[in-house]
Amino acid sequence: MLIVLIHDISSVQRLIEIAKFIFNYTLASQIRLLVISKPTGSAAQTGIPEVSKIAYKQNRSVLIVNELKDAVEILKPEKTFIATSTIKSEVKVEEIVNSIKKQKTLLILPGCEEAFSKYDLALGRPFNIEDMCEKIGIVPYVSITLYEILKRL
């Protein structure tokens, strides 16, 4: 079971685009719950209600939490992976896919460049898609990362 979390997002448009991609690209059986952690600014004020409407229409759920640790405490995933290009990782996509097939897996994705503190990174296993970084833009980064994982499921 896969749960996707978007962390530290402040842009309404970015939040809506990510939610639309997740809800329209995936099946409800693949991603039933979208978690939004630490939304700020206009994303928190305007984006959350919009994403909630999109989720409701797609028969999906949205959970909003203040911090990553809140999501981990509430959801109690067996495995947690954090997408970041700031740390070189030994975690391969196949390991994430195998985890998703066998157990509740939380996939944490950035909502902005430099979204994760050292404390946040300690909550899961950092991973990266080879030769890709957040500098391409967060929406493409999230989309490509999810695509690379989901195509192997």
What is the 3-state secondary structure of the chain?
CEEEEEECCCCHHHHHHHHHHHHHHCCCCCEEEEEEECCCHHHHHHHHHHHHHHHHHCCCEEEEECCHHHHHHHHCCCEEEEECCCCCCCCCHHHHHHHHHHCCEEEEEECCCCCCCHHHHCCCEEECCCCCCHHHCHHHHHHHHHHHHHCCC
How does residue 146 score in pLDDT terms, banded at 50, 70 and 90? very high
Compute the average pLDDT of residues 126-137.
Answer: 86
At 115, the pLDDT band (50, 70, 90 cuts) reads: confident
pLDDT tens, position by position, 14-57: 999 999 999 999 999 999 999 999 999 999 999 999 999 999 99
| Domains of the chain listed by start with CATH number | 2-150 (3.40.1280.10)
Percent of the chain with pLDDT over 70: 100
